[in-house]
Each structure stands twice: as structure tokens, then as C-alpha cells.
Amino acid sequence: EPEVTQTPSHQVTQMGQEVILRCVPISNHLYFYWYRQILGQKVEFLVSFYNNEISEKSEIFDDQFSVERPDGSNFTLKIRSTKLEDSAMYFCASSGGGRSTDTQYFGPGTRLTVL
């Protein structure tokens, strides 16, 4: 069964460094998403991406964040200058086109630790 994959599973970085989190969505999906979950808290929507552009973003998704689909398979989230409060689990998700955009399938997540 096709699944969303994410790398790395765990990333440790120093405050102020840039990190890139990578995702490979399900191959025939058209919509891509990033979410984050701070430890012990709810999952929060960051951004959705369709047709090579951002379709929606939350207030969390400020100028330090960016997303990109550099080729036909990868979808990345870049955090330019990490802060301690960026430490969280980051989930990528994807969904298909048409009516099937309703169901988002999540990857296993990347645990980001900012020291």
C-alpha cells in the first residue's frame, strides 16, 4: 500500500541553524501539507500546497518557514533560523484530487530538536 515517507526521522540542530525536512508524498496525490505537534499538544496545521504554490497557511507559518516541491517526488519544509520553540514533531501529509482531497494520509513524522 502506498504511503507517505519522511526523512530524517529525528533531526537535532542548534538554535539559529537552517533545517530542511523532507517528505515523499503518495505518488498520484496532488495536495500536500505540513503539520506540527509540540510535545503533549494538539496537531497544528502549518501549510497546504497545490499546483506548485501555497494554497493556505496558518498564522504559525511565518517568514522563517518555506515549502518547496523541488522535483516530481519530494516536498520540503525549510525553517531558516530555528528557535527553541520550533522543537516539535513535523508531519507531512498528502491527499488526492477531486472528491478524494478529503482524506489526508500522514507520514511517520520528523522529530525536530532545537538546542
Partner 1 sequence: AQTVTQSQPEMSVQEAETVTLSCTYDTSESDYYLFWYKQPPSRQMILVIRQEAYKQQNATENRFSVNFQKAAKSFSLKISDSQLGDAAMYFCAYRFNNDMRFGAGTRLTVKP
Q: Is 2 in the site for partner 1 (CB under 8 A)?
A: no
**Residue entry with cell 504559525:** 60
Nearer to partner 1, 17 or 41 (CB): 41
Q: Is 97 in the site for partner 1 (CB under 8 A)?
A: no
Range in contact with partner 1 (rule: CB under 8 A) among 18-26, 52-60, 67-75, 79-87: 52-60
State the Cα–Cα distance between residues 113 and 99, nearest whole angstrom. Answer: 37
Angle, CA 102 vertex, CA 98 and CA 103 arms, to 5°: 120
CB 81 → partner 1: shortest distance, Å? Answer: 25
CB 103 → partner 1: shortest distance, Å? Answer: 6
Q: Which of 16, 19, 17 is nearest to 8 (CA)?
A: 19
Beta carbons within 8 Å of 65's beta carbon, 6+ residues apart: 46, 47, 77, 78, 79, 80
What part of residues 21-40 is at the interface with partner 1 (CB under 8 A)? Answer: 31, 33, 35, 37
Contacts with partner 1 by CB under 8 A lie at 31, 33, 35, 37, 41-45, 48, 50, 55-56, 58, 89, 91, 93, 101-109, 111
